[in-house]
């Protein structure tokens, strides 16, 4: 019987074993060791909430997800996100910390299957865009996308929200809608007190306005401080355009040496000037036009101290806070300085010296919370200083691709030399940066 049973059993096995049968060794299926939390359904993304936000937890709705969080690979803009909770229809994620502002594709991969929603999430953040200027060297007026600049430096805002931009030998105005016009000066340099485009300047570097919309500018190569009225009349407030010096005195009897920055006190009674090549801070009484020296010992060595005992190498632009403290960019030393109401000069901060890099902080602005924003033309950055003195980079990338517009942390400026801060009707902050070498005015806002 055993001899008969053996071939019968083999026959039975041969008859039952067919291609496509249930033997797992011959038909492993799509996954021989499936994740027990992975459903076999196709993957779909049906919704993303919120789909536009800052850094907050984000929920992805869909089907076919794994109930094991680690088995879902989520990428935002190609960068892995962290899945914190998972069901077969919902994933909760934490956004990548290094995600840039803007639109990003969202992809989910489960068990080697991937689904992508194009531009599925927008990270709200600070974005740089062009406000005015084609980038061409010129003096064409017109809409922002058609207007051109020569070498803009400095920016101020008048009572109507217009921007005043010194542009080499001219004073330009830009409306809130970006329309550019020339209100004083011309392409040619010189010194002439006159109306509008009949006036002549020689490299204007900074501007400030009083409560009556009078514009005051540092006319650097003329070694003067000039005034432009709302009617366009240009006069010399102080300084002798034929002479460099550091003499105190009245009006044209006083002398400056390459004045760079100018600001005005809260009362509107006095101008303060960063007298660059003299390494001093000057004060001008607008009622009498008397010029006095209030800080700086005239040397190029930095030193904290009181008034004339302090050392302020190559002061640039200046700004007052609401407490009466005066903040000064130190072009020659790469620092930001503070002079309090008693005349004490201290150092707020500034980057450490870098090999082959001219740091050169030039212009400065202050927001409603007393944060300082400083343009560092040599480093091509905008730095922020909190009231406590904490320093951070607000905008610009010193290295990387040469991007003109985009997220603030990747855009490259070329010699930023001017910054102004404005608030829209909803109270949102907007920054305007003069990108001098690009010959453009850039806008930074959250979007």
Provide the CATH number for the domain around residue 171: 2.120.10.30
Residue 211 lies in a domain: yes
115 and 209 in a single domain? The answer is: no
179 and 64 in a single domain? The answer is: no
Exposed, middle or buried by CB within 10 Å (0-12, 13-18, 19+), for 137?
exposed
What are the b/e assignments for 293-318, b being 16+ CB within 10 Å?
bbbbbeeeebeebebeebbbbbbbbb
138 and 259 in a single domain? The answer is: yes
pLDDT attached to residue 357: 56
Residue 91 lies in a domain: yes
Residue 32 lies in a domain: no
- Number of compact structural domains in the chain: 2
pLDDT attached to residue 28: 40
pLDDT attached to residue 351: 81
Residue 238 lies in a domain: yes
pLDDT attached to residue 398: 82
329 and 441 in a single domain? The answer is: yes
Q: 125: number of CA atoms within 13 Å, CB side? A: 21
For residue 56, the enclosing domain spans: 44-123
Phi and psi torsions of 193, nearest 5°: -85, 120
Coarse DSSP helix, strand, coil percentages of the chain, rounded to the nearest 5 percent: 5, 45, 45
Write down the number of H helices and E strands in the chain. Answer: 1, 36
Q: Among the three residues 101, 123, 145, which one is the final residue of a domain in this structure?
A: 123
170 and 304 in a single domain? The answer is: yes
108 and 130 in a single domain? The answer is: no
Alpha helices, DSSP H only, in 366-407? none
CATH of the domain at 88: 2.60.40.10
Q: Among the three residues 80, 99, 123, which one is the final residue of a domain in this structure?
A: 123
Residue 365: which of 406, 336, 342, 344 has the closest Cα?
336
pLDDT in tens, 184-205: 999 999 999 999 999 999 999 9
Query: What sign for the dihedral angle of Cα 101, 416, 137, 197?
Result: positive
200 and 293 in a single domain? The answer is: yes
228 and 346 in a single domain? The answer is: yes
pLDDT in tens, 79-96: 999 999 999 999 999 999
pLDDT attached to residue 5: 39
275 and 390 in a single domain? The answer is: yes
pLDDT attached to residue 19: 40
272 and 416 in a single domain? The answer is: yes
Residue 411 lies in a domain: yes
Q: Among the three residues 123, 143, 178, which one is the final residue of a domain in this structure?
A: 123
Query: Which residues, including other chains, have CB under 8 Å from residue 140's CB and lie 6 or more apart?
Result: 134, 146, 147, 148
354 and 207 in a single domain? The answer is: yes
Residue 266 lies in a domain: yes
Residue 349 lies in a domain: yes
258 and 155 in a single domain? The answer is: yes
Residue 108 lies in a domain: yes
pLDDT attached to residue 128: 97
The residues of the chain scoring below 70 in pLDDT are 1-41, 353-358
pLDDT attached to residue 38: 47
Residue 103: which of 406, 442, 404, 396 has the closest Cα?
406
């Amino acid at each position: 019987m055993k001899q008969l049973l053996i071939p019968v059993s083999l026959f039975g096995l041969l008859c039952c074993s067919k291609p496509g049968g249930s033997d797992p060794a011959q038909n492993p299926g799509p996954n021989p060791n499936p994740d027990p939390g992975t459903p076999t359904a196709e993957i779909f993304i049906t919704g993303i909430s919120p789909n536009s936000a800052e850094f907050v937890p984000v929920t992805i709705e869909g089907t076919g997800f794994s109930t094991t969080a680690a088995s879902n690979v989520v990428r935002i803009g190609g960068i892995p996100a962290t899945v914190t909770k998972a069901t077969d229809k919902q994933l909760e994620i934490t956004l990548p910390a290094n995600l840039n502002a803007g639109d990003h594709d969202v992809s989910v991969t489960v068990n080697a299957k991937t689904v992508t929603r194009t531009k599925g999430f927008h990270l709200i953040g600070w974005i740089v865009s062009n406000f005015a200027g084609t980038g061409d060297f010129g003096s064409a007026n017109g809409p922002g996308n058609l207007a051109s600049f020569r070498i803009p430096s400095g920016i101020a805002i008048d009572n109507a929200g217009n921007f005043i931009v010194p542009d080499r030998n001219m004073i330009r105005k830009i409306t809130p809608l970006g329309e550019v016009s020339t209100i004083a000066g011309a392409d040619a340099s010189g010194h002439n007190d006159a109306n509008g485009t009949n006036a002549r300047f020689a490299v204007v570097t900074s501007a400030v306005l009083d409560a009556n919309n009078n514009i005051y500018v540092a006319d650097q190569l003329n070694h003067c401080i000039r005034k432009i009225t709302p009617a366009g009349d240009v006069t010399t407030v102080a300084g002798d355009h034929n002479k460099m010096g550091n003499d105190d005195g009245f009006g044209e009897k006083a002398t400056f040496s390459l004045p760079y920055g100018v600001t005005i006190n809260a009362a509107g009674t006095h101008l303060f000037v960063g007298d660059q090549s003299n390494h001093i801070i000057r004060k001008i009484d607008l009622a009498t036009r008397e010029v006095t020296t209030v800080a700086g010992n005239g040397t190029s060595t930095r030193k904290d101290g009181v008034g004339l005992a302090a050392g302020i190498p190559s002061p640039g632009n200046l700004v007052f806070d609401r407490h009466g403290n005066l903040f000064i960019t130190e072009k020659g030393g790469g620092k930001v300085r503070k002079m309090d109401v008693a005349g004490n000069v201290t150092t707020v901060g500034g980057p450490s010296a870098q090999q082959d890099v001219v740091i050169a902080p030039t212009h400065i602005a202050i927001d409603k919370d007393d944060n300082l924003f400083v343009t560092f033309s040599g480093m091509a950055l905008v730095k922020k200083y909190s009231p406590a003195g904490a320093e951070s980079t607000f905008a610009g990338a010193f290295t990387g691709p040469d991007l003109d517009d985009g997220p603030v942390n990747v855009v490259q400026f070329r010699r930023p030399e001017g910054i102004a801060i404005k608030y829209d009707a909803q109270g949102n902050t907007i920054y305007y940066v003069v990108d001098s070498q690009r010959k453009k005015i850039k806008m930074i806002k959250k979007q």
